[in-house]
Structure 1
Amino acid sequence: MPAKENSEKRAEENIRLAFFLNLIFTIIEFIGGFYTGSLAIIADAVHDMGDSFSLGLSWIFEHIAKEGRTERYSYGLKRLSLLSALINAVVLIIGSVFILSQAIPRLFVPGEPNAAGMFILAIFGVIINGAAAYRVYGGKSLNEKLVTWHLLEDFFGWMAVLIVSTIMYFWNLPVLDPILSIIITIFIFYNVVRNLKEVLVIFLQGVPREVSVTEVESALNNIQDITDVHDIHIWSLDGEHHIITLHVVIDKNCTFNDINRIKCSVKRTAKRLGIDHATIEIEKEGELCEMTEDEEY
């Protein structure tokens, strides 16, 4: 099996495993959260519910995306992962607002959570999320990287619950539970908004943050026989596969073989700068270009 296909199969298997682990533990969290009366655990359960939804979509979309391009979808369906991220962000934002609305009043009238029950759940949370994060750690696909981040987030969140439940077991400080739930929720909300911003940039065909248009333009202008490049558009298909379209002006004396050499050099340079797919329009010096500076695209 080719390395790329093997990597895609591994990514799908890892995301599937993470989905089932997350889903099972989310159910346990909700039951345990209501049983112990811990808002911090319920807050994390809401977060994990969003993660489970996202992981489920990611697993399905990872499988569908392997089918490649079709007559209707010439770029394939890799952007489904962005749709998954967008839906997940909305779910988590709604969940975060709900948890904050419940946690803030509890700062003034804290409940009495079951510290021993919280401690036991925290042990399971650390083990399960730690094992799942270890399984997907080092994945190459964008989905695997996002899944790893979510699982590590959960792992450290449960470490916090473990510490707080231990403190509450020895000291009567029930206010620590709503404080922890607010901290977890704000942390989640911050990362969701940050990820949502990246998703919107991709949907709006913004230049990927790891790619510099100036650097690309400079590198291309250094290729032999290229006198100018213009009308450069760089965007990302799914946050992982980047695309460039551009006009390349070459020396008017270039032969057909020179043009082939230049196109290959442009594609190699683009690949080196993190761009997977290049569409090039060649123009010779003095040739009229339909794309003028006053056009909007």
Structure 2
Amino acid sequence: MHDNSLTGQRFFIVTALNILITVAEFLGGIFSGSLALISDAFHNLGDGAAIVMAYAASRISRKKSNQHKTFGYRRAEIISSYLNAIFLIVISVFLIVEAGKRIFEPTKINGILMLIVAIIGLFANAGSALLLNSGKTNNLNIKATYLHFLSDALSSVGVIIGAIVIQLFNITWVDPLVTILVSLYIIKETFPILRDSTNILMQSGPDLDYEAMALDMEKVCGVVSVHHIHAWMIDENRIIFSAHINLQDQMLSNVEVTYQAVEKLLTEKYHVDHVTLQAEVERGRDATKFTTNQNDI
């Protein structure tokens, strides 16, 4: 089983590495004249905010549900990943604009100092990414933070190559070019996180075959038809499902048996975590599967 949370020890180590490299790259960028280093420093500053938010969100998400948060606090991590993604995209766009200006107005750059600081940044960011690697698969929040550090590690590689080219051939426009390429890569990698977190916050339906689900439910003994289907996600791993099912007029004790059969089907075949069913006899029998009226909201 993967550890999908941020432990205090990992949080402390990653934060310490982040502070170290942010200060080093800001100073290195100022004294060397490298926009690529300063862009790396901005990304690392964002990483600092990201890791603090991720850690806080992971702690909040463990709180138990109550009368005010009946589904618990799991979406704290989704909000964190959403804000982190927006921050990365905004910073990347800003750096692309600044790099474009530098291409037409090149400045003198100290390639040696740029190279030394970039190497330090590579090791610090790669180490941070490795610490977060185990939890990124099933957690959007940790994935967003992981991508912060991975993108900075790749950025450091680009800065190293740029520093070598600048030092050997004095081609200063390589520095803003590296900044643009890295920023475009970050936008590409971040957009899916922004899309997924937005869909979850908007309670978009998860990627399920709803027609097949409805047909399978109608095959359960006692179920006549299914309508008013709703599905959404609390976080990237937990699916919530509700539906109205028409049954033959019968005793409530028999309805409970049908409920259990439908819940077992949805849990085992479609990996739904929480099922809510409303039994009806005639009401809604002619409704379409996804029709919603105000009484259902």
Q: TM-score range by the shorter chain?
A: 0.7 to 0.9
- Distance in 2, Cα, partners of 1:156 & 1:76: 37
For each residue in 1:142-184, what CA deviation from the matched residue of structure 2 results, as whole angstroms up to 9, or x when unmatched?
3233333332222222222222222222221111000111112
For each residue in 1:122-160, what CA deviation from the matched residue of structure 2 results, as whole angstroms up to 9, or x when unmatched?
222222222222222232433233333332222222222
> Counterpart of 1:21?
17
The residue correspondences of 1:241-260 to structure 2 (distance < 5 A) are 241-252=238-249, 256=253, 258-260=254-256
Shift of 1:254: 7.6
Q: Please list every run of 5 or more consecutive structure 2 residues that lacks an aligned counterpart in the other structure.
A: none
> Counterpart of 2:225?
228
Q: Please list every run of 5 or more consecutive structure 1 residues that lacks an aligned counterpart in the other structure.
A: none
Aligned-partner residue type, residue 213 of structure 1: Y
Is the CA contact (8 Å cut-off) linking 1:93 and 1:189 kept in structure 2?
A: yes
Aligned-partner residue type, residue 267 of structure 2: K
Distance change in 2, residues 1:17/1:107 (3 Å): same
Helix, strand or coil: the match of 1:68?
Answer: coil
Shifted more, 170-179 versus 246-255: the winner is 246-255
- Distance in 2, Cα, partners of 1:227 & 1:189: 49
Residue 276 (str. 1) matches residue 281 (str. 2)? no
- Distance in 2, Cα, partners of 1:176 & 1:295: 59
Aligned-partner residue type, residue 83 of structure 1: I
- Distance in 2, Cα, partners of 1:215 & 1:127: 49
Helix, strand or coil: the match of 2:50?
Answer: helix
For each residue in 1:34-79, what CA deviation from the matched residue of structure 2 results, as whole angstroms up to 9, or x when unmatched?
2221111211222222222122111011112211112211112221
Residue number among 61, 67, 70 corresponding to 1:74 in the alignment: 70
Distance change in 2, residues 1:114/1:214 (3 Å): farther
Helix, strand or coil: the match of 1:137?
Answer: helix
- Distance in 2, Cα, partners of 1:80 & 1:164: 39
> Counterpart of 2:56?
60
Shift of 1:22: 2.5
Shifted more, 48-57 versus 9-18: the winner is 9-18
Is the CA contact (8 Å cut-off) linking 2:6 and 2:58 kept in structure 1?
A: no
- Distance in 2, Cα, partners of 1:57 & 1:126: 23
Identity %: 25
Residue 202 (str. 1) matches residue 197 (str. 2)? no
Helix, strand or coil: the match of 1:195?
Answer: helix
- Distance in 1, Cα, partners of 2:8 & 2:284: 45
Residue number among 96, 104, 107 corresponding to 1:108 in the alignment: 104
Residue 135 (str. 1) matches residue 131 (str. 2)? yes
Is the CA contact (8 Å cut-off) linking 1:11 and 1:144 kept in structure 2?
A: no
Distance change in 2, residues 1:9/1:202 (3 Å): closer
Residue number among 179, 184, 197 corresponding to 2:182 in the alignment: 184
Is the CA contact (8 Å cut-off) linking 2:144 and 2:193 kept in structure 1?
A: no
Shift of 1:253: 5.7
Is the CA contact (8 Å cut-off) linking 1:244 and 1:279 kept in structure 2?
A: yes
Cα RMSD between the aligned structures?
2.9
> Counterpart of 1:40?
36
Distance change in 2, residues 1:25/1:264 (3 Å): farther
Residue 240 (str. 1) matches residue 231 (str. 2)? no
Helix, strand or coil: the match of 1:73?
Answer: coil
Shifted more, 26-35 versus 175-184: the winner is 26-35
- Distance in 1, Cα, partners of 2:45 & 2:54: 14
Is the CA contact (8 Å cut-off) linking 2:144 and 2:190 kept in structure 1?
A: no
Distance change in 2, residues 1:232/1:121 (3 Å): same
Helix, strand or coil: the match of 1:223?
Answer: coil
Helix, strand or coil: the match of 2:134?
Answer: coil
**Number of residues paired by the alignment?**
289
> Counterpart of 1:163?
161
Is the CA contact (8 Å cut-off) linking 1:15 and 1:144 kept in structure 2?
A: no
> Counterpart of 2:283?
288
